[in-house]
Chains A and B, each alone.
Chain A
Amino acid sequence: MKILIHGGRVVDPASGHDGLADIAIAAERIVTIAPPGTLRDFDPERRIDATGLVVAPGLVDLAARLREPGQEHEGMLESELAAAAAGGVTSLVCPPDTDPVLDEPGLVEMLKFRARKISRCRLFPLGALTRGLRGEALTEMAELTESGCIGFAQADVPVRDTQVLYRALQYASTLGLTVWLRPHDAFLGSGVAAQGAMATRLGLSGVPVMAETVALHTLFELVRVTGARVHLCRLSSAAGVALVRAAKAEGLPVTADVSINSLHLTDVDIGYFNADMRLTPPLRQGADRAALRAGLADGTIDALVSDHNPVADDMKALPFGEAEPGATGLELLLGLALRWGQDAGLTLPQTLARVTLNPAQVLGGALQSLAASAGRIVEGGVADLCLFDPDAAWAVEPAALASQGKHTPFAFAATGMALTGRVHATLVAGTLAYQAPAATPPAA
C-alpha cells in the first residue's frame, strides 16, 4: 500500500534530522522524505495526517518476554505483539527462557512463523546459549542462527560453571555471534531485593552489588581471552556502570542496556512489600539509579529496554519473596524514555537514539538486510515508524494496557507519575500495526 505521512516532525537520530517533512511509503519501504507539501507526484492510497506529531523510527526493544511457547496463560504472542505495536515498538528481542527453552531450530522457526503471521512487530529471538539453559552443554548455535536467532543468551539463569561459560564464549566467537548475558553471580545473587537499608529493614534477602560486579569482572576477563562480543543485559548498579565504562575505554567488544524500571525506580519504592516492585534485577539505591541515568546519557549504556515480562495476577498476589519477578513494559518504553530525556536535558533525537538507533546498532549484522535501516528513517529503508504526540501527558492505567500483563510499578494510582508521549500510530514494513482510537483526550 502507498501511504503518505504528511505534516509531521520527522526525527531521525542517525542523520540528526529534526524538522517538518512528508514521507512517502510504497512496497514496505520509505520512498521519499521531502519538505512538507512537495510530494505532489506521489499518489497515495492512504494519507496519515501527522500534524503536531513526531514521526520517529519504530522503537527497537532489546528485552521483551512474550511468554510463548509454554506460558500462554500469562501473555500470548498476539496480545504481547499488539502491546508492542501500541507502544511504538517495531522490533523486539525476546529471551530464550520459554517452555520449552529456545534451544532447537524447530522451536525458533515456529515462533518466527507465528510472529510473521500476526505481523504486528518484528521478532528477533535469542537462542539458548546452553541446552535447556542448564549451563552444561552448548546449543547448536550455527543451526539456531540459520533458523533466526540473533544471539545467544541465558536469560536469568547464570552459567555457574566458568569453564562452560568460557567454552561458550570461545565457540560463539568462532562463529562471530554475540552472547547476551545479564551479569549476575548465581551464588551471590540469590536474594529477592537489592542489599541495602531497605532490604535490611524489610527483612528481605539481599542481592549485593558484587553479584553484578563479580560477574562483570569474570566476563570481561573471558572476553579479553576469547574476543567474544558480549551484550550486557540490564545493568543495575553504579559500580557495574563504572566497570562497563572502563571496559569500553579498554576497547572490549561489549555493549549494555538498562531497563525502564532501574532507570526510574529505587528500592524505596518497594514500600510496604509491593509485589509489583519485585523485579529482576532488583531495584537498587538512588546513587545507582543516578549512575544508570548518567551512563545511558554518556553512551556507556547503549540502549534502554522495556524488560517487558507479563506476570499473571496469581503470581503477584503472594508475599514479596514468593511473587514472580517482572512487570509489563512494552507500552511504557517510549513514555519513560522521553521522561528520562527531559530530566537529562537531552534533545529529542538524542533521547530517541536510546530506543531506536543504538539498540539497532547493538543488533548490528545480526539484522542482516535490515541492518542499514532499522532504527532509522532513511530513503530506501524499511518503513518501520512510530508516530507520537510528544506533549500528551497520560496516566498509566493497568487495565487499559493491551498486554495481558497488568502489573507495572508505574501505575498512576500507585505512583502519581504521569508519562509524556502518546503513540498515535505504528507502522511495520509500511503497514499500520497500530492506530490509536480516534479522539482520545490526553489524560491529565
Chain B
Amino acid sequence: MLARRNPQLNSHGELIHLLSIEGLPKAVLTQILDTAGTFLAVNDRDVKKVPLLRGKSVFNLFFENSTRTRTTFEIAAKRLSADVINLDIARSSTAKGESLLDTIANLSAMHADMFVVRHAESGAPYLIAQHVAPHVHVVNAGDGRHAHPTQALLDMYTIRHFKRDFTQLTVAIVGDIVHSRVARSDIHALATLGVPEIRAVGPKTLVPGDLAAMGVRVCNDMAEGLKDADVVIMLRLQNERMNGALLPSAGEYFKRYGLTAEKLALARPDAIVMHPGPINRGVEIESAVADGTHSVILPQVTFGIAVRMAVMSTIAGNSAR
C-alpha cells in the first residue's frame, strides 16, 4: 500500500531517495549544498576520487534521451568510486513491451544499489521508489513536467555561491514554465530557502495565471518580469513548442521573451544569468548574454557534478528505516 508519509524520507526525516524538492525541509537542502561545497575541492584535485560509494552499483536509467544530465551523473558517481552502468532505454516502458516495473525488477536482480531515473511521465520515479528493495536508492533525474531536483539544487548552489543570501533576492524564471520540471523544482527550492520574490515570466500559453498557486508572481510582460531582478533563470524552449498552438514562431518568441543585453539592463547591475542547458542561441538567449559577464552558465555545470555527488553520497548514507 502507498506510503502516506513523504516517500523520500525515512522515519527520522533523513533523505533516502531524491524524488522532488517539494516537501523537503530547508535543513535537508542546505546540508546537500554544504556537502557539495566540500566535493568541489575534490574536483580540483589531481586524483578526482573519493571512496564513498566504492563497491556500489549505480544504474543510470534514462527512458528519455539526455546526454548532458546522464554524463554529469556518471562523472559524479565515478568520482564517488561507484561502478556505473548506463542504460539508454529512451522509449516509453509500454512501447518497448517490458513494463517499467519489470525493467526495475530485472536490474534489481543484478544487485543495483542506486537508480538514477529519467522518464517522460511525471511521477515515474515515485513508482520505482515504491517497488525497490529497502536498500536501493532512487534519484529523480527528471520526470515529465514534474521535477528535476538535482538541477534545482545545482541552481541553488550557484545562486548561493554568487549571491550568498537568499532572503533578499528577486528571482525571475523566464520561458516555458508550464511544461518545465526545472521551473517547478526551482520554485519549490527558492521558496524553501526563503526567496521573497519568485517571478514566472512568459506568454500566457507558457505561463498561465494558475501558476500563481505555486507561490510565484506571474509576469506576462518581460520588462515587468526582469525589473530589478537579482537572478534571471532562462529556460530552454523545446523545439516542439515553437511552431504550434502555444507559440507562432521562435523568431516572435525571441523578440518578446529572448534575453538580450538590452532587456537584461532592466535587471540589477550585478544580476546573474542562468540556464539549465543546452541553450538555444537566438531563441531564448542571445550569444552576447550567454557568453557575457553576467552569465554563470558554465559554473552551473561545474557545480552540478559536486551537487550530484552530494546527493548520491547523502542518500546512500541513510537507511530506509
Given A201-B22, A414-B2: A322 and B145 within 8 A (CB)? no
A272/B3 in contact, CB under 8 A: yes
CB distance from B182 to the nearest CB of A (A): 11
Name the interface residues of B115-148: CB closer than 8 Å to any CB of A: 119, 121-124, 126-127, 131, 143-147
B101 within 8 A of A: yes
**B205 close to A (CB within 8 Å):** no
B184 within 8 A of A: yes
Residues of A within 8 A of B93 (CB): 318, 322
Question: Contacts of B143 on A, CB cut-off 8 Å?
Answer: 203, 319
How many interface residues does A have (CB within 8 Å)?
24
9 nearest A-B pairs in the assembled complex, by CB-CB distance = A203-B146, A273-B123, A203-B145, A319-B121, A197-B213, A203-B122, A319-B124, A413-B1, A320-B123
Chain B residues with CB under 8 Å of chain A are 1-4, 6-7, 22, 92-94, 99-101, 119, 121-124, 126-127, 131, 143-147, 178, 181, 184, 210-211, 213-214
Check A318 against B94 for contact (C-beta < 8 Å). yes
Does A195 touch B at the CB level, under 8 Å? yes
Q: How far is the CB of B101 from chain A (nearest CB, A)?
A: 5
20 further A-B pairs in the complex, CB-CB below 8 A; given A319-B122, A319-B123: A200-B210, A201-B184, A201-B213, A201-B214, A203-B145, A204-B144, A204-B145, A272-B123, A273-B123, A273-B126, A275-B127, A317-B101, A318-B121, A319-B121, A319-B127, A320-B121, A321-B122, A322-B93, A322-B121, A414-B2
Residues on B with beta carbons closer than 8 Å to the beta carbon of A318: 93-94, 99-100, 121, 127
Could you list 24 examples of A-B contacts with CB < 8 Å?
A197-B210, A197-B214, A200-B210, A201-B184, A201-B213, A202-B123, A203-B122, A203-B145, A203-B146, A203-B147, A272-B7, A273-B122, A273-B127, A314-B99, A317-B99, A317-B101, A317-B127, A318-B100, A318-B121, A319-B119, A319-B144, A320-B121, A321-B123, A322-B93
A-B pairs with beta carbons under 8 A, tally = 82
Residue of B whose beta carbon sits closest to that of A398: B1
CB distance from A285 to the nearest CB of B (A): 11
Chain A: minimal CB distance from B181 (Å): 6
> For the complex, is A364 an interface residue (Cβ under 8 Å from B)?
no
Instruction: Report the minimal beta-carbon distance from A205 to chain B, rounded to whole angstroms.
Output: 8
Which A residues lie within 8 Å of B100 (CB)?
A: 318-319
For window 181-212 of A, CB contacts with B under 8 Å fall at 195-197, 200-205
Task: Name which residue of chain A comes closest to B122, CB basis.
Answer: A203
Chain B residues, Cβ within 8 Å of A197 = 210, 213-214
Determine if A32 is an interface residue (Cβ-Cβ < 8 Å): no
Chain A residues positioned under 8 Å from B211 (CB to CB): 200
Q: Given the known A-B contacts A202-B122, A318-B94, are A196 and B210 also in contact in the complex, defined by CB atoms under 8 Å?
A: yes
Inside 8 A of A274's CB, which chain B residues have their CB? 2
Which residues of the other chain, A, contact B123 by a CB distance below 8 angstroms? 202-204, 272-273, 319-321
With both beta carbons as reference points, the residue of chain A lying nearest to B187 in the complex is identified as A201
- B214 interface neighbour in A200, A319, A320, Cβ under 8 Å: A200
Most buried by B among A197, A272, A319: A319
The interface residues of chain A lying within 8 Å CB-to-CB of B122 are 202-204, 273, 319-321
Pair A414/B1 contact, Cβ less than 8 Å? yes
Q: Contact: A202 with B146, CB < 8 Å?
A: yes
Q: Which residue of B lies closest to A197 (CB)?
A: B213
Q: CA A272 – CA B146 in complex, angstroms? A: 11
Q: Within the assembled complex, what's the spacing in Å between the Cα atoms of A363 and B43? A: 73
Among B119, B123, B147, residue most surrounded by chain A Cβ atoms (within 10 Å): B123
* CB neighbors of B among A317-352 (8 A): 317-322
- A441 at interface by CB-CB < 8 Å: no
Counting CB contacts under 8 A, is A411 at the interface?
yes
A205–B214 Cα gap in the complex (Å)?
Answer: 16
Cβ-defined partner of A203 (8 Å) among B6, B7, B144, B210:
B144
A168 CB to nearest B CB, Å: 28
**Among A203, A205, A314, which residue has the most Cβ atoms of chain B within 10 A?**
A203
Residue of B nearest to A277 (CB): B2
Q: Any chain B CB within 8 A of the CB of A271? A: yes
CB distance from A41 to the nearest CB of B (A): 55
Contacts of B181 in A (CB 8 A): 203
- Which residues of the partner chain A approach B126 to less than 8 Å between Cβ atoms? 272-273
